[in-house]
Amino acid sequence: GAGVSQTPSNKVTEKGKYVELRCDPISGHTALYWYRQSLGQGPEFLIYFQGTGAADDSGLPNDRFFAVRPEGSVSTLKIQRTERGDSAVYLCASSLVLAGIGEQFFGPGTRLTVL
Amino acid sequence: DQQVKQNSPSLSVQEGRISILNCDYTNSMFDYFLWYKKYPAEGPTFLISISSIKDKNEDGRFTVFLNKSAKHLSLHIVPSQPGDSAVYFCAASALGSGGSNYKLTFGKGTLLTVNP
């Protein structure tokens, strides 16, 4: 069975540009999460989807960041007017259970470099 | 403000010996704790977890101990194997308003090296 996949694996862009990062969760997983891991840090929570709706977007750093999951499966994290400080590995995870404790399965991440 | 702290950036042990990785937390609302293992260029992989109603959980060579009064947990790996060499992250969550432990707060990780 396929795990969580993320594309692209690497993205290099210039300051000020717009980028989209894609996440394909494990089939049937209703919950989807985005995290950001900066160099030397652990992953930091960005946003959580339950189905199509963002149940908690409290981790998004500012309004340049936006994420969608229109059909309740694939999700796209969108970053406008990228800054050098946005450089990090962006991790996506998905889980099966709707409530209570659910193990989160992580993808390999997208390494974003903003020059 | 780091709510989950892993104060040892690295640990080196000999194959066959015990590895002990430590984690401290400050948020008393945390009620579920997890350990993840991460190899280079891969996402974190779930290893073992423990609920705050327990003080120990064991799974094969891996045991997690929780000391709520000290806000401290540890991961024991016995015996350690070279394939265990990876970065280990401690993570914690608190019961959200939706009834789901979904928002994980991670420590910075500890790089474990098991020498043959």
Beta carbons of B107 and A100 less than 8 Å apart: no
Beta carbons of A42 and B109 less than 8 Å apart: yes
From chain A, pick out residues whose CB is under 8 angstroms from the CB of B89: 42-43
From chain B, pick out residues whose CB is under 8 angstroms from the CB of A45: 103-105
The span from the CA of B88 to the CA of B113, in Å, is 11
Q: If you average pLDDT over residues A55-60, what whole number do you get? A: 90
Q: If you average pLDDT over residues A56-83, what whole number do you get? A: 95
Total residues belonging to chain A: 115
Indicate if the pLDDT at residue A102 is higher than 80.
Answer: no
> 3-class SS at A10?
strand
What is the per-residue pLDDT across B15-52, written as a single tens digit (0 to 9) for each? 999 999 999 999 998 988 999 999 998 999 999 999 89
Q: If you average pLDDT over residues A108-112, what whole number do you get? A: 97
What does pLDDT average to over chain B? 93
The neighbouring-strand residues paired with B9 are none
Residue that the structure tokens 């969760």 belong to? A25
Phi, psi of B32 (to 5 degrees): -150, 135
pLDDT score, position B73: 97
**Greater confidence, A49 or A98?**
A49
pLDDT score, position A100: 53
The span from the CA of B86 to the CA of B106, in Å, is 16
When pLDDT is cut at 50, 70 and 90, the band that residue B55 belongs to is: very high
When pLDDT is cut at 50, 70 and 90, the band that residue A86 belongs to is: very high
Indicate if the pLDDT at residue B99 is higher than 60.
Answer: no
